[in-house]
Amino acid sequence: MRLLLAAFLGGLVLFFWGFVANMLLPLGELGYEYPVAEDPVLSTLQTNLPREGVYIVPGLTAEQYADPAQAEAFGKKTAASPYAFIVYQPQGETAMDMLDELGLQLASTIVASGLMAWVLGLAPWGFGKRVTVSTVLGVFAWVAVAVPLWTWYRFPADYIGGMLVQQLVGWLLAGIAIAWVLGRKVRRSY
């Protein structure tokens, strides 16, 4: 029962930290830019992207990469061209109705906190060590997910830095809530 309570409370803390980080602080917009003329960009996307997906422009398929001439031409093109990582949906949805997204986000923070509570409950640690481990695992998640986005897909450094602050603070706060619910150090016999 304590594990479920820790998951729920940790998830709520993480969810509300996400609200603060994205709506009240500038962390949610670090690295975001907007086109000078949005409508021509949208029109070009609709004309040239055939279906929902992730697009990298300029791009090179695995078959093209296997051809040395095409790979060499691609290398020259990437050195001389702009680059874009595009998450594309041919038909969007209203950005002003976020009820479904908020529900999914809350559920995901509760599940993530449940996993964290389970990990923190495995060892007979006290409050401080549980909070430290939660924070370190939050940084671990950032290194595992965000750093490859920066390394391979050229996400802006300020965007990646904002993600670090969100993960670090979020898992510090959630760790405090989880450790508080899990209680004092438990002696186990193995």
pLDDT of residue 189: 46
Q: In the structure encoding, which two tokens stand for residue 175, read together? A: 């760790």
| Per-residue confidence in pLDDT tens, the chain, 190 aa | 899 999 999 999 999 999 999 999 988 889 888 999 999 999 999 999 999 999 999 999 989 989 999 999 999 999 999 999 999 998 877 767 788 899 999 999 999 999 999 999 999 999 999 999 999 999 999 999 999 999 999 999 999 999 999 999 999 999 999 999 998 655 554 4
Q: How far, in whole angstroms, is CA 72 from its chain's centroid? A: 33
Q: Give dist(CA 123, CA 25) in Å, integer.
A: 35
84: phi > 0 → left, psi -120 to 50 → alpha, else beta; which? beta
Decide: pTM greater than 0.75. Answer: yes
pLDDT of residue 188: 53
Q: What is the pLDDT of residues 20-42, one digit of tens each?
A: 999 999 888 898 889 999 999 99
C-alpha distances (whole Å) from 128 to each of 94, 120, 133, 174, 186 are 43, 11, 9, 13, 14
Q: Give dist(CA 175, CA 170) in Å, integer.
A: 8
Residue 84 near residue 57, CB atoms below 8 Å = yes
Residue 28 near residue 22, CB atoms below 8 Å = yes
Q: How far, in whole angstroms, is CA 111 from its chain's centroid? A: 15
